[in-house]
Each structure stands twice: as structure tokens, then as C-alpha cells.
Structure 1
């Protein structure tokens, strides 16, 4: 995914890329989830939605 993002930054906002990212993660309870995995997902999501990474990270933690 990172390679796709790097090579084609405009692709990150497509539905295809969003579905690929969404289907690449299996979530557990936020207290048991790896913070680095959550942060990586939040970073990708912030790129896809064009939102600040800090806010996106907090939303990911809250939603899980």
C-alpha cells in the first residue's frame, strides 16, 4: 500500500484504494490492538480523507 501511495499519490483518494486499505486490517479491541498498527492505519486514512493525522488517529482509537 505504501508503495502504491508513493508511486501514485493521486490514487490514495480512490474507492479502490480505500477498499484495499479497509480490507487489509482486522481489528480487535483498542486496548489489545497494537498502537503502531493503529497509527499506520490512521496515517493511511488521513491521506485518503485529507484530514489531519492527529484527529484521524484519535478517531481511529475512539472507534475501536
Structure 2
């Protein structure tokens, strides 16, 4: 029997990766004419979007 270290069947590496993503700073993204607000972890945004990776690594912020 193999010990995974996770309650949900993942590996320790997978658990560590999830912890890293969701402990990064949270940024507010305001979208559309209704100014709908979304709060998203910075690292997750950078991992899934080259656009946001470039914006967040350059310190871009619009008001």
C-alpha cells in the first residue's frame, strides 16, 4: 500500500502545488461596464494567462 499524504488521494507534490497557488496574493479584477469584481490568486492568473503573467510581473495596475 502506497502512502500518498493526502486525504483526497493526490500526491504530496500535487498538494504542495495547490497550496502554493492558493496562498499567493489575491488581486482584484474589475470587468465590463457593470464593473463586476473578481478576486483571483495572482499566481493562478499568471499560470493560465500569458497576458496576465506579463501584466502582473511588470507591476501593471490600472485605476
Do the structures match in fold with TM over 0.5?
no
Higher relative contact order (CA 8 A, sep 6+): 1
**Would you tell me which structure has more strand in proportion to its own residues?**
2
The answer to which structure has the higher helix fraction is 1
